[in-house]
Amino acid sequence: MSIVYGKRVRLRGAEHSDLEKFVIWVNDPEVTAGLTLFLPMSSVDEEKWFERAMQRPQEEKPLVIDMKDGTDWRLIGNSSFFDFDWVARSAEVGIMIGDKTVWNQGYGSEVMTLLLRHGFRTLNLNRIFLRVYAENKRAIHAYEKVGFVHEGRMRQAVYKNGSYSDILYMSVLREEWDATMKES
């Protein structure tokens, strides 16, 4: 895959040099509050994750999120597609904006728009879905903003930080995305 460019961000293949930042982010409780991670991750753990990720098919490899920073690019997060169902042309998408200095500035929405474009136009998917914790209002708003609709709720489906939380399922269908693109 070539680099996918947006107005302020780009998606590129992950490199070994990105792991140092990833380790910092996956050990930050504020960053992982919305992720399934709940135990500390060492550099060795992250190395093993990276090696496994690089063995996956190209479409499942992690994509790094860089933001334009003057004339350079700055790493702010990562994303990926996974759990592909090639018969139904469906996949799950995940995103992590690890750089907290850029939270609440619309980067998540822009990245998700790029991921939808990549998923529908490049990977020829028909349905892109995600799971999000019900209390992650910031993420839910970003997903709704780019066209995700609520599909369902798994009640008390995750236990984290001493309490149970609901998980929401959200998705976008290609026909919905195509209609949105024609309007804009």
Inter-CA distances, 36 with 33, 146, 158, Å: 8, 23, 8
Residue 144 has pLDDT above 80, yes or no: yes
Tell me what the mean pLDDT of segment 91-106 comes to: 96
Name the band, by pLDDT with cuts 50, 70 and 90, for residue 1.
low
Provide the 3-class DSSP secondary structure of residue 64.
Answer: strand
Residue 184 has pLDDT above 80, yes or no: no
Name the band, by pLDDT with cuts 50, 70 and 90, for residue 24.
very high
Tell me what the mean pLDDT of segment 8-19 comes to: 96
Residue 51 has pLDDT above 70, yes or no: yes
CB neighbourhood size of 98 (10 A): 21
The predicted model scores a pTM of 0.93
Residue, of 147 and 2, whose pLDDT is higher? 147
Domains of the chain by start residue, with CATH:
4-183 (3.40.630.30)
Residues 6+ apart with CB under 8 A from 49: 41
Cβ contact 98:111 at 8 Å? no
Tokens 């982010």: give the residue.
25
